[in-house]
């Protein structure tokens, strides 16, 4: 059952959609008249991904990459692939869409996994980044919001599998 957490709204639906429209416009400029494979990192980025790709005016095909590295509210530091891409990306332009960069370990793993498949280009985008939590250097091409080092839920992000369906990002107030 969903734990009854107290969640303080942190980034509203309106702020999310405005930022996503901005990033979408930038990516449209970059990829206009190009073929693009947009990779959704499961599970956390599914909501951001589906809003973002609707703001990009380019020829897009969709791919899904499943990884897990979290237990409760802490990163295990070990990335497990739960679903691999269904097609080769060699010679293609790839947009990697992640929900949040915390220690940077997952994004680094994903970047290396995709670059080893020889795409024509790789562009990274994360909705959220926690700069104070980085443990490995992690360059991102596009970031929605830089946030403090606190655990957030909603808009695809979970706590123990729950809260992904909140339409906004919230900060959890009452962890034991």
Asked if the peptide bond before residue 11 counts as cis, ω within 30 degrees of 0, the response is no
Contact criterion met (CB below 8 Å) for 15 and 167: no
x-marked contacts with ligand 5GP along 27-66 as a string, rule CB under 6 A: -----------------x----------------------
Structure tokens that stand for 97 in this block: 């869409």
CA separation for the pair 26, 31 (Å, rounded): 9
Q: How far is the CB of 129 from ligand 5GP (least distance, A)?
A: 9
Residue 153 touches ligand 5GP, criterion: CB under 6 A: yes
CA separation for the pair 171, 36 (Å, rounded): 34
Catalytic residue among 102, 132, 141, 158: 102
Query: Is 84 in the active site?
Result: no
User: Under rule CB under 6 A, which residues in 92-151 are in contact with ligand 5GP?
Assistant: 98-107, 151
Q: Considering only 27-35, 53-61, 112-120, 156-164, which stretch makes contact with ligand 5GP by CB under 6 A?
A: 156-164
DSSP letter for 19, please: H
């Amino acid at each position: 059952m969903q734990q009854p957490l107290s969640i303080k709204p942190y980034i509203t639906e309106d702020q999310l959609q405005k930022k996503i429209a901005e990033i979408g416009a930038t990516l449209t400029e970059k990829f206009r008249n190009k073929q693009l494979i947009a990779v959704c990192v499961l599970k956390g980025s599914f909501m951001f991904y589906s809003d973002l790709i609707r703001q990009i005016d380019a020829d897009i095909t969709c791919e899904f990459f499943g990884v897990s590295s979290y237990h409760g509210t802490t990163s295990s530091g070990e990335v497990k692939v739960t679903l691999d891409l269904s097609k080769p990306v060699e010679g293609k332009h790839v947009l990697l869409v992640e929900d949040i960069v915390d220690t940077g370990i997952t994004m680094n793993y994903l970047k290396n996994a995709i670059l080893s498949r020889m795409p024509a280009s790789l562009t990274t985008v994360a909705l959220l980044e926690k700069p104070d939590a980085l443990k490995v250097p992690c360059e991102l091409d596009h970031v929605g919001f830089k946030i403090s080092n606190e655990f957030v839920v909603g808009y695809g992000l979970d706590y123990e599998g729950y809260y992904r369906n909140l339409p906004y990002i919230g900060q959890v107030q009452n962890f034991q």
